């Protein structure tokens, strides 16, 4: 029977986001592809450590207990630059960690994000900056993971997700106004347009998919009053009054919701993250993530004009290993 993805939340995950590949990447970088292949073969049964997005993915997959085993709500598919042989260690590590991930694409050094539309993916996470930027440039919802893996409390199944607004859930039109006209021009513009919803940004549809999971939780709680809701969504934005109103109205106009909203008006977001403790936080500006990524699994969504500018400015751009997915770099 054909397996349909249309009504599921589908996430694409690079091995660089799911696991800690620092050691493997160093072998590839310093000794080359053949040594890398030999290294992976020698360490085939050595389970890879948890990466930045591991906790987020594990908790997201745990929500499949809201449906029948043969009809999961969430599907996670590995998208990797590894070839099938070197990908064996990845799949064995997935099994060792008890993650219900059975589907994967291994591309032997080529970018796998092109398959996102065919697989109905709402999000692609990777540590490879080039892959993520190219995906976003094509209009695909992708983000680059930053920071180290957070502690993952195994008996706690809560899932806390935090989003920035402009350039993440919404387009970056207001950010462009801010860059051109400054803070007062931005506030005047947002006040005049408070009743006009923004055009959606790259992760609006992902939030809509998360909301559908939350709705399934509410249905379960209606049947079982003892059920404790697990998914919690927060908006954490540099907007404040009077610019907050357009953000709230935009969410309502799109038919999506958040549980909390933090309108910080320039306050360092990392101070809030230290208390909120989301399992993942999405923002379009690397400058905001420099602080949050020290304690919070963070994702840079390189969307909009400000990221085009950052890409041109070596002093602003924060790159990483050329191919931290741990796979060959040839095109």
Of 131, 139, 101, 90, the C-alpha closest to 113 is 131
**According to DSSP H, which parts of 194-304 are helical?**
204-223, 244-254, 269-276, 286-292
Is the pLDDT at 189 greater than 90? The verdict is no
Check for a shared fold between 9-146 and 159-312: yes
Distances (CA, A) of 275 to 245, 269, 271: 25, 11, 7
Q: Where are the beta strands (DSSP E) in 73-138?
A: 74-80, 103-106, 121-126
Tens digit of pLDDT for each residue in 56-72? Answer: 999 999 999 999 988 99
For the purposes of burial, counting CB atoms within 10 Å of the CB of 245, is it exposed (0-12), middle (13-18) or buried (19 or more)?
middle
**What's residue 310's pLDDT?**
65
Is the pLDDT at 109 greater than 90? The verdict is no
For the purposes of burial, counting CB atoms within 10 Å of the CB of 22, is it exposed (0-12), middle (13-18) or buried (19 or more)?
middle
Q: In what order do the strands lie in the sheet with 260-263?
A: 103-106, 74-80, 9-13, 121-126, 142-146, 298-300, 280-283, 159-163, 231-237, 260-263
Of the listed ranges 23-27, 67-71, 265-269, the least confidently predicted one is: 23-27
Specify the CATH number for 9-146; select among 3.40.50.2300, 3.40.30.10, 3.40.50.1000, 3.30.43.10: 3.40.50.1000
Domain parsing of the chain, residue ranges = 9-146, 159-312
**Cα 205 to chain centroid, rounded:** 13
d(CA 301, CA 299): 6
Is the pLDDT at 311 greater than 70? The verdict is no
Q: Which fold has domain 159-312?
A: Rossmann fold (3.40.50)
Please answer whether residues 159 and 56 qualify as being in contact, where contact means their C-beta atoms are separated by less than 8 angstroms.
yes
Tens digit of pLDDT for each residue in 218-261? Answer: 999 999 999 999 999 999 999 999 889 999 999 999 999 999 99
Please answer whether residues 206 and 212 qualify as being in contact, where contact means their C-beta atoms are separated by less than 8 angstroms.
no
Q: Say if pTM beats, i.e. exceeds, 0.85.
A: yes
3 state DSSP class of 28: helix
Please give the share of the chain, as a percent, with pLDDT higher than 70: 91
d(CA 195, CA 56): 34
Of 210, 205, 318, 313, the C-alpha closest to 258 is 210
Of 329, 321, 330, the C-alpha closest to 22 is 321
Tens digit of pLDDT for each residue in 154-175? Answer: 667 899 999 999 999 999 988 8
For the purposes of burial, counting CB atoms within 10 Å of the CB of 202, is it exposed (0-12), middle (13-18) or buried (19 or more)?
buried
Of the two residues 197 and 60, the one the predictor is more confident about is 60
Backbone angles phi, psi at 197, to 5 degrees: -60, 145
Is the pLDDT at 149 greater than 80? The verdict is no
């Amino acid at each position: 029977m054909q397996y349909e993805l249309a009504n599921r939340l589908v996430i694409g995950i690079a091995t660089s986001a799911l696991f800690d590949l620092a050691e493997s990447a160093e072998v590839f970088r310093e000794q080359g592809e053949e040594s890398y292949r030999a290294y992976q073969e020698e360490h085939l049964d050595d389970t890879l450590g948890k990466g930045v997005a591991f906790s987020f993915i594990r908790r997201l997959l745990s929500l499949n207990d809201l449906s029948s085993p043969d009809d999961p709500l969430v599907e996670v598919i590995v998208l990797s630059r590894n070839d099938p042989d070197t990908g064996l260690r990845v799949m064995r590590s997935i099994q060792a960690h008890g993650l219900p991930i059975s589907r994967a694409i291994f591309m032997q050094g080529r970018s796998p994000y092109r398959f996102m539309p065919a697989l109905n993916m709402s999000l692609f996470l990777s540590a490879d900056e080039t892959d993520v930027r190219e995906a976003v440039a094509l209009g695909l919802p992708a983000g680059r993971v930053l920071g180290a893996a957070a502690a993952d409390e195994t008996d706690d199944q809560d899932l806390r997700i935090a989003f920035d607004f402009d350039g993440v859930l919404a387009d970056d039109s207001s950010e462009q106004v801010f860059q051109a006209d400054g803070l007062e021009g931005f506030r005047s513009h947002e006040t005049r347009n408070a009743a006009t919803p923004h055009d959606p940004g790259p992760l609006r549809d992902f939030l809509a998919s998360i909301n559908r999971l939350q709705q399934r939780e509410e249905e379960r709680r209606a049947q079982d009053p003892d059920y404790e809701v697990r998914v919690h969504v927060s908006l954490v934005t540099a907007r404040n009054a009077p610019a907050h109103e357009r953000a709230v109205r935009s969410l309502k106009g799109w038919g999506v919701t958040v549980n909390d909203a933090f309108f910080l008006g320039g306050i360092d977001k990392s101070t809030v993250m230290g208390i909120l403790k989301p399992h993942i936080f999405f923002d379009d500006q690397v400058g905001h993530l420099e602080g949050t990524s020290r304690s919070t699994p963070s994702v840079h969504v390189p969307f909009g004009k400000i990221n085009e500018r950052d890409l041109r400015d070596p002093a602003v751009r924060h790159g990483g290993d050329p191919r931290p997915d741990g796979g060959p770099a040839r095109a």
